[in-house]
Structure 1
């Protein structure tokens, strides 16, 4: 898998800033999906020290944490809401009701992709500031890099 600039959420002072993901669109798609399954969406507020936005999507039977990368149109799902500062775990494959995310331009990553070892991830397009962060934090798998609390 090849990562684009902005994957870590960092860039250097001399680098052109990376544009932010349209989190309003992501939230709208989650609301529409929740409406169809008779559920609701709750927003989880985090400090700016994370590389992602998170929402809970609750149906009558299940609750998911819907994660949206802050700078790339990438999303993932977890079985429980993330705990600030804690490594994210409990990723689950995208539920069937998230079809609209793909139509809206978001790539929903399955667990298999999230568990890709960093040795198999192409980081050649990342800025030097991002590579510095990767060397410092030493993420083991792709999910550690994409959905992080690095400061």
Structure 2
């Protein structure tokens, strides 16, 4: 799996700004996905989780936590909200209605992709600052690297 510049959320001083995922586009994609699933959109899936955007989509008794990368148009699904300062949640495969995100330009990551060891990922596009953050925080998986709350 190849990770693109901005995957960690850090950049080198003097380097161009990282792209930003538009929160309104993410919210709109959540509403479209909920409509397709016959569900509703709830509040943030992890209050205070500043490293990424999050929401919940409720379908009947089931609640899906959706995480959105702040710089890359990538979404992941988790089995529980992120607790600020806590461990990365257990990632789940995208539900059937997740194609709504893809139609609107977001990539949906699978549990296997997110569980890929960082040592097996292609980090060639990342900046020196990103490599330094990886060495410092030592994420085990691609999911921990992409959906982090590093400061």
TM-score range (shorter-chain normalised) is over 0.9
> Bigger CA drift: 26-35 or 113-122?
26-35
Q: TM-score, normalized by length of structure 1? A: 0.93
- Give yes or no for contact 2:49–2:82 (8 Å, CA) kept in 1: no
Q: List alignment gaps of at least 5 residues for structure 2.
A: none
> Bigger CA drift: 132-141 or 86-95?
86-95
How far did residue 112 of structure 1 move? 0.5
- Give yes or no for contact 1:3–1:122 (8 Å, CA) kept in 2: yes
Structure 2 CA distance, aligned partners of 1:146 and 1:96? 23
- Give yes or no for contact 1:15–1:127 (8 Å, CA) kept in 2: no
Structure 2 CA distance, aligned partners of 1:59 and 1:47? 23
Written as runs of structure 1 = structure 2, the 5 A alignment for 1:86-105 is 86-105=86-105
Q: Runs of 4 or more off by more than 2 Å in structure 1?
A: 35-38, 45-48
Q: List alignment gaps of at least 5 residues for structure 1.
A: none
How far did residue 105 of structure 1 move? 1.4
Structure 1 CA distance, aligned partners of 2:100 and 2:32? 9
Q: Aligned in 2, Cα 1:143/1:9: closer, same or farther, shift over 3 Å?
A: same
Structure 2 CA distance, aligned partners of 1:145 and 1:77? 15
Match of 1:46 in 2: 48
Structure 1 CA distance, aligned partners of 2:48 and 2:138? 23
Q: TM-score, normalized by length of structure 2? A: 0.93
